[in-house]
Structure 1
Amino acid sequence: MTDTALFSPSSINFISIAIVLTIAASMLQGFLRGGSGSARHFVAMLVEAGIALLSLLAAWKCVGWISPAIQTWLKGLDLQVPSVEISALKQMYYTVMTSLRDFPLLRFGVLFLIGYVVIKQVLNLVVDYLLGRWLAERYAMTKRRNSFLSSVSGGLIGSFAGFARALMLIAMLFIYVSLFPHSLVTPYIESSTMYQKGAKEVISPFTGDFIAEKAPVFTRAVEQEFSNILQRKYEVLDAKIPGNIADAAKEITVNAKTDEEKAKLLYSWVGTRVKYDWNKVKLYEEQRIWKEQTPEDTFNTKEGVCIDYARLYAQMARAIGLDVKVVTGLGYDGQGGYGPHAWNEVYLEETNRWVPLDATWVASGANWFNPPNFDQTHVRDV
């Protein structure tokens, strides 16, 4: 009962093409400038590449210093998500601000991107002021002859600038994927080989064993942060719990004594009352129309797909004081493969642990509340 894939990337990925073209365009620009016969152009190109690399290094150092201060400042703000209906703009505000506060990799990426742009602009202004007159005089007095060597040198210098620009493009894509992990564009971005591995493959020859040693640790950190950011999105989106959902959750669990009993009762109720909406899946498969619905829509219609089951369960659990997560990833399809899926994790205070559950699969007749081999049929999103 996994959901049909919402996006099937084609063999041609335009994200990879954009990254390659970013580097290629800078190399071509350097090649043409190097062979243009102008000493002024050549020196300007050399300075531009130097500024780009210096800006990257300076931004990296500055972010390490300013990131803790930004986190402290954000912690001092009142960022408690209100339990009332809020506009889409406010939802985005709370998602962005609390994510920057709580997730260090995302905060680093945003600050690094901003720092690079600011530092580069400042350095450009300084260099223009200091070298502008000299370059103008040099341009009037000296002309370089076209040469193959100058063209190749220009292309090499341009490649450094292009690499810096490609890194900035990847950083912007990372920020988008982090903030909007469930959008239709995100799977396409993540399917780009250049986005996933390009930087590592380019940097690796120059960094020796550093990447090989640090990459696995960094990858695990990114995976965890992606999961947490996605959870934050649903926490904000579904912060307001409608009265009818809250009343139903309290009635269902009125006789339960422990968190586990409450969680199991809600798991059983959602799994047996909500019917899987195959028409919703068919509508998207055939017409590419995604019928977005709120947990209240699911509660009222008693129909939905796995993400709708998970969001409704999360709201009902929160209504009675349980700590719960919406988890996305891949679920076993019963035919030897895996497809996009969503489920929940709930915290049981009496045992001090998080346990998984899948209300969508209740209809299968098996127990999907913390079974022994849950992770063999459910793979969390990266």
Structure 2
Amino acid sequence: MDNWVQLFREPEPVAIIVLLLLLGSLVQGIRRGASGSARRLFFFVWEAAVIVVCLIVAGRLASALSPVVAEWLNGQVHIPSRELNVFEQAWFTLLTSLRDFALLRYGVLFLLGYLLLRALGAFVEPLLERAVEGILRSVKEEPIRGLPAKRSASRVAGALIGTAHGAGRSFVFVALLFVYVSLMPSGWYADKISNSPLYTETASWLAPVAGDVLEGQGPVLAEAVQAQFQQILQRKYEIIDYAIPAEIEQAALYVTQDALTKEDKARKLYDWLGSRIAYDWDKADNYVQQGIWKEQTPTETFDTRKGVCIDIARLYAMMARSAGLEVRVVTGMGADGRGGYGPHAWNEVQIGDGDAGWIPLDATWASSGDWFNPPRFEETHIREA
């Protein structure tokens, strides 16, 4: 009991908000009386139950439908081999991201499923509301005798019900804070929330129920979301570069004309770019020292014969696709030769079946050694996802 008294002796934001929720619900209860407060409390509980059920069902549906949708999109999405306008680029970026990125696909399916279930629940709620109104109206008060006393009793009962309603609202509020702090322990104001005595008291009740599920998932989930977001941003390059200019296609076919295998093709393209595309130090210095970034297309890299890592990786990907190879641009961190790492981009190309058939290569670093699928490539290249 002393703990609860102490909570309000030294007010802090969480306790103040909870106190306002309790007082607001108490005042509402007094104004509405017993029947009005009972109706509001019933629908508060009903709404909470519907939300929980919809969240659970939406999660199950998203898990079940995600692989089905991925397979369907894999067979349906075909990017036109022509220059795409801005809207087409955005549309195909969305479709291919939904096809390839499981976390994004699950999130979209979960949201759509939840909204659909809530919409279906909205059809049931008016029927339930009419039934509750009918029950409440059937409890008739005597018209004259004892009317003031009945009103007073109704207000007292309303106050009690309103307080219970406020307690429910407060518990939901603190539960949301608990989820926020558990998933994002380094998030905005999370440390202040954790130091709140009221939050600590309530979290001790929630932890046995949800703590094991949420504990430690915040950083992992945040990293996964950030990594997939970077992949989606990276996907725009693939969509933009899908239309292959004739001169680049002809060059790629010429370079790989004598190659007998996919690995031979990938190696010949690596050698060609590594020996003909110079690193653009001026562009890199402008970005590092002045924050000026010049976006350039693979065509510009091909014509000028210079570019930074992302430019070379994009040109390699375009030429590899021209030669019939499956290829992707990878972004992450590359070793700087001084014991540190800096932003970098390279490629992965598929020369065999399945995930094991993908090999890494770094045409940007070709002048410093053989970076075509070398041993321990991952020690110098750390991918974002």
**Secondary structure of 2:317's match?**
helix
Q: Find the counterpart in structure 1 of residue 328 from structure 2.
A: 325
Q: What one-letter code is carried by the residue in structure 1 that aligns with 2:46? A: V
Query: Shift of the alpha carbon at 1:34?
Result: 3.2
Q: Find the counterpart in structure 2 of residue 126 from structure 1.
A: 124
Looking at structure 1, the residues matched to 314 and 246 of structure 2 have their Cα atoms a distance apart, in angstroms, of 16
Q: Give the conservation status (yes or no) of the 8 Å contact 2:283–2:294.
A: yes
**Secondary structure of 1:36's match?**
helix
Matches within 5 A, 1:46-61: 46-61=45-60
Query: Shift of the alpha carbon at 1:277?
Result: 2.5
Q: What one-letter code is carried by the residue in structure 2 that aligns with 1:36? A: V
Q: Give the conservation status (yes or no) of the 8 Å contact 1:33–1:41.
A: no
Looking at structure 2, the residues matched to 288 and 29 of structure 1 have their Cα atoms a distance apart, in angstroms, of 48
Looking at structure 2, the residues matched to 149 and 251 of structure 1 have their Cα atoms a distance apart, in angstroms, of 78
Q: What one-letter code is carried by the residue in structure 2 that aligns with 1:318? A: R
Query: Shift of the alpha carbon at 1:357?
Result: 1.0
Q: Give the conservation status (yes or no) of the 8 Å contact 1:245–1:316.
A: yes
Question: Is residue 327 of structure 2 the alignment partner of residue 336 of structure 1?
Answer: no
Matches within 5 A, 1:223-234: 233-234=236-237
Q: Find the counterpart in structure 2 of residue 173 from structure 1.
A: none
Q: Find the counterpart in structure 2 of residue 144 from structure 1.
A: 159
Matches within 5 A, 1:26-37: 30-31=21-22, 33-37=24-28
Query: Shift of the alpha carbon at 1:64?
Result: 4.0
Q: Find the counterpart in structure 2 of residue 87 from structure 1.
A: 85
Query: Shift of the alpha carbon at 1:312?
Result: 0.3
Q: Find the counterpart in structure 2 of residue 316 from structure 1.
A: 319
Q: What one-letter code is carried by the residue in structure 1 that aligns with 2:171? A: L
Deviation string for 1:314-345 (max 9, x for gaps)?
11112122222211111111222112211011
For residue 270 of structure 1, the aligned residue among 270, 273, 277 is: 273
Q: What one-letter code is carried by the residue in structure 1 that aligns with 2:27? A: S
Query: Shift of the alpha carbon at 1:81?
Result: 1.2
Pick closer, same or farther for the CA change 1:72–1:313 going to 2, 3 Å.
Answer: closer
Question: Identity over aligned residues, as a percent?
Answer: 41
For residue 364 of structure 2, the aligned residue among 360, 367, 372 is: 360
Q: Give the conservation status (yes or no) of the 8 Å contact 2:70–2:98.
A: yes
Q: What one-letter code is carried by the residue in structure 1 that aligns with 2:358? A: W
Query: Shift of the alpha carbon at 1:362?
Result: 2.0
Structure with bigger gyration radius: 2
Looking at structure 2, the residues matched to 69 and 262 of structure 1 have their Cα atoms a distance apart, in angstroms, of 34
For residue 105 of structure 2, the aligned residue among 104, 107, 110 is: 107
**Secondary structure of 2:114's match?**
helix
Q: Give the conservation status (yes or no) of the 8 Å contact 2:334–2:381.
A: yes
Deviation string for 1:167-197 (max 9, x for gaps)?
9xx9xxxxxxxxxxxxxxxxxxxx99449x9
Deviation string for 1:233-253 (max 9, x for gaps)?
443221111111112222333
Looking at structure 1, the residues matched to 227 and 288 of structure 2 have their Cα atoms a distance apart, in angstroms, of 30
Matches within 5 A, 1:61-80: 61-67=60-66, 70-71=69-70, 73-74=72-73, 77=76, 79-80=77-78
Query: Shift of the alpha carbon at 1:26?
Result: 9.1
Pick closer, same or farther for the CA change 1:53–1:30 going to 2, 3 Å.
Answer: farther
Q: TM-score scaled by structure 1?
A: 0.69
Looking at structure 1, the residues matched to 290 and 17 of structure 2 have their Cα atoms a distance apart, in angstroms, of 40
Q: What one-letter code is carried by the residue in structure 1 that aligns with 2:256? A: T
**Secondary structure of 1:314's match?**
helix
In terms of fraction of residues, the more helix-rich structure is: 2
Aligned residues: 331
Q: Give the conservation status (yes or no) of the 8 Å contact 2:41–2:162.
A: no
Structural RMSD (CA): 4.5
Q: Give the conservation status (yes or no) of the 8 Å contact 1:45–1:157.
A: no
Pick closer, same or farther for the CA change 1:223–1:207 going to 2, 3 Å.
Answer: same
Q: Give the conservation status (yes or no) of the 8 Å contact 2:22–2:163.
A: no
Looking at structure 1, the residues matched to 17 and 75 of structure 2 have their Cα atoms a distance apart, in angstroms, of 43
Q: Give the conservation status (yes or no) of the 8 Å contact 1:231–1:325.
A: no
Q: Determine which structure has greater relative contact order: mean sequence separation of CA pairs < 8 Å that are 6+ residues apart, divided by chain length.
A: 1
Looking at structure 2, the residues matched to 24 and 316 of structure 1 have their Cα atoms a distance apart, in angstroms, of 62
Deviation string for 1:69-107 (max 9, x for gaps)?
545654563x21121111122122223223334444432
Query: Shift of the alpha carbon at 1:313?
Result: 0.6
Q: Find the counterpart in structure 1 of residue 200 from structure 2.
A: none
**Secondary structure of 2:105's match?**
helix
Q: Give the conservation status (yes or no) of the 8 Å contact 1:271–1:361.
A: yes
Pick closer, same or farther for the CA change 1:105–1:159 going to 2, 3 Å.
Answer: same
Greater alpha carbon shift after TM alignment, 144-153 vs 263-272: 144-153
**Secondary structure of 1:341's match?**
strand
**Secondary structure of 2:27's match?**
coil
Deviation string for 1:45-81 (max 9, x for gaps)?
443333322221121233345445545654563x211
Looking at structure 2, the residues matched to 214 and 335 of structure 1 have their Cα atoms a distance apart, in angstroms, of 34
Looking at structure 2, the residues matched to 369 and 262 of structure 1 have their Cα atoms a distance apart, in angstroms, of 12
Question: Is residue 173 of structure 2 the alignment partner of residue 155 of structure 1?
Answer: no
Pick closer, same or farther for the CA change 1:147–1:315 going to 2, 3 Å.
Answer: closer
For residue 373 of structure 2, the aligned residue among 360, 363, 370 is: 370
Q: Give the conservation status (yes or no) of the 8 Å contact 1:34–1:41.
A: no
Q: Give the conservation status (yes or no) of the 8 Å contact 1:49–1:161.
A: no
